[in-house]
Structure 1
Amino acid sequence: MADLEIKHAESGSGGVFYTIIDGHRAEMTYSTAGTTVIIIDHTGVPEALGGQGVGQKLVEAGIAHARERGIKIMPLCPFAKAQFDKHPDWKDVLR
C-alpha cells in the first residue's frame, strides 16, 4: 500500500481524507474546532480493503496535514485513537 493515493477535500466545518481502491472508498473524516484543532471523528475502511494498512495511511495523511498547518489533532474515532496509542512519534500533533 506504499503507492496509495490519498485525496483531501475540505468543507466549511471539516473535511475528509479518502482513497478509492478497486471501486471501494475508504475515508477518514474530521471536523474543525476553531483554527488550531481538528477532531478525527470517523475512519471507515470497507471489509474488502481491511488489513492492508489503509486506515493507518489515512490517519498518517491527517497527521501530515496537521504538521503542515501547525495544528493539533483530537482523535475521537476509536481507530484513530488506537493508532495514536501505537505511534508515540505522533504526539507532537496530539491534543
Structure 2
Amino acid sequence: MADIKLELDEKNHGAFNLYDEGTKIGEMTVSIKPDLLTVYHTGVDENQGGKGYAKQLLDNMVAYARNNNLKVRALCPYVHAQFTRHPEEFADIWLKEA
C-alpha cells in the first residue's frame, strides 16, 4: 500500500511524496505560503501508471489545503485539468487566475 508524506524544506518548498514499501514512486511538488499552496508538478513512475496514484496525491493535497484554509494555485497541468473538469468539487480552494 502506498503512503503519502508532505516533506518541506525551511522555505516551505517540497512535495507530497508517494512511497511504496519505502521507495519513492511519485510526487506532487508544491510551495506553501500563509494563505496559498502552489502546485507545480505531479509525477508518478512510468511503471506505476494506471493505479490511481496521481488521484491519491491530488486528494491528499486537497485535504491538506482544506484543513489549513489554503487556496490552491494550480500551475501543474494535471491538477489544473482536474480543477477545470470538476470546478464544483474544488470551488472552495481553487484560486482561479485571470
On whether the aligned pair clears a TM of 0.5, the verdict is yes
Q: TM-score with structure 1 length normalisation?
A: 0.85
Matched-pair contact (CA < 8 Å) for 2:5–2:17: yes
Structure 2: gaps of 5 or more residues: none
Q: Percent identity?
A: 33
In the alignment, is the contact (CA less than 8 A) between 1:36 and 1:70 conserved in 2? yes
Shift, 1:40, TM fit? 0.1
1:11-90 equivalences in 2 (<5 Å): 11=9, 12-21=11-20, 23-32=23-32, 34-88=33-87, 89-90=89-90
Q: 5+ unaligned residues in a row in structure 1: which ranges?
A: none
Q: CA RMSD in A?
A: 1.7
Residue in 2 aligned with 1:94? 94
* Secondary structure at the counterpart of residue 93 of structure 1: coil
Q: Which whole-Å CA distance do the structure 1 matches of 2:25 and 2:3 have between them?
A: 12
Measure, in 2, the Cα distance between the counterparts of 1:18 and 1:86.
24
Task: After superposition, give the CA deviation of every residue in 1:1-34 in whole Å (9 maximum; x if it has no partner).
Answer: xx532111122232311112264520001113x4
CA distance in structure 2 between the partners assigned to 1:26 and 1:48 by the alignment:
11
More helix by share: 1
Aligned length: 92
SS of residue paired to 1:5: strand
Q: Write the deviation string for residues 26-55 of structure 1: whole angstroms up to 9, x where unpaired.
A: 0001113x4111110011111111111101
Counterpart-to-counterpart distance in 2, 1:9 and 1:91:
26
Scaled by the length of structure 2, the TM-score of the pair is 0.82
